[in-house]
Amino acid sequence: MPEQTPYESDQRRRHVNALCEAIFYAFPPEPYTGTILAGGDTFPGHDYPHEAQPEEDIVRSLKHQRWTHIPASFLERHLGDFVFLTAEAFTAFIPAWLLFALDNDNQGGEFIAYTFAPDEVHEASPNENPSQLQIRPLTVEMFRALTPPQRRVIRDFLIYLSEHHASDFIADRAAAAVDTVSNLITVFEPESE
């Protein structure tokens, strides 16, 4: 990414600030008491009880928490692990991952882009409708659990990522994810777009 001018840097900072405000507005920091992991929150014994398994760390760190209380060290250890969450837990905690990415030079943002990008990112052939690309069932389930303002925050975050990620590859994935999210918004909220 080329060096930014002071004006561009100021514009980017304003964009990040607006996104942060939207995240706090759309995702109230309520304690989450539901099931954390899609496979359930109980674990059979394992051979090395002194070694915490990643899933146990996720449950222990998120159960009964507000997204605003999730430490950055947890998010750094589990950058893409929000995909293991139930749709409800995803809704409760994804704002922590969004803010972490915004505060850490987009670190972890690629996992959000991958989650919402279609399975195959390529240019549509003349006979192929780009909106018909394969959307992961997990993406639809997570998206369905979000409220309309939360859906727009996800889209706005992906727009930001597509414009500001240092990797062109990730920026392209984010742009594809913007298209997917926009299409899902029209499906779930046909009167709003």
47 within a domain of the structure (yes/no): no
Report the candidate in 192, 153, 184, 160 with the shortest Cα–Cα distance to residue 174: 160
C-beta neighbour count of 142 within 10 angstroms = 24
Report pLDDT digits (tens) over 41-68: 876 655 555 455 778 889 999 999 999 9
- Structural domain span for residue 21: 6-39+52-120+130-188
176 within a domain of the structure (yes/no): yes
Report pLDDT digits (tens) over 129-188: 444 445 666 678 888 999 999 999 999 999 999 998 888 999 999 999 999 899 889 988
27 within a domain of the structure (yes/no): yes
C-alpha–C-alpha distance, residues 181 and 119, integer Å: 13
Q: What is the pLDDT of residue 43?
A: 65
Q: What pTM does this model have? A: 0.84
Q: How many domains does the chain have?
A: 1
In sign, the C-alpha dihedral spanning 138, 122, 191, 156 is: positive
Q: What Cα–Cα distance (Å) separates residue 87 from each residue in 42, 84, 154, 170, 192? A: 18, 9, 14, 24, 23
Q: What is the pLDDT of residue 134?
A: 58
Task: Please report where in the chains the tokens 């990522």 appear, as a residue.
Answer: 161
157 within a domain of the structure (yes/no): yes
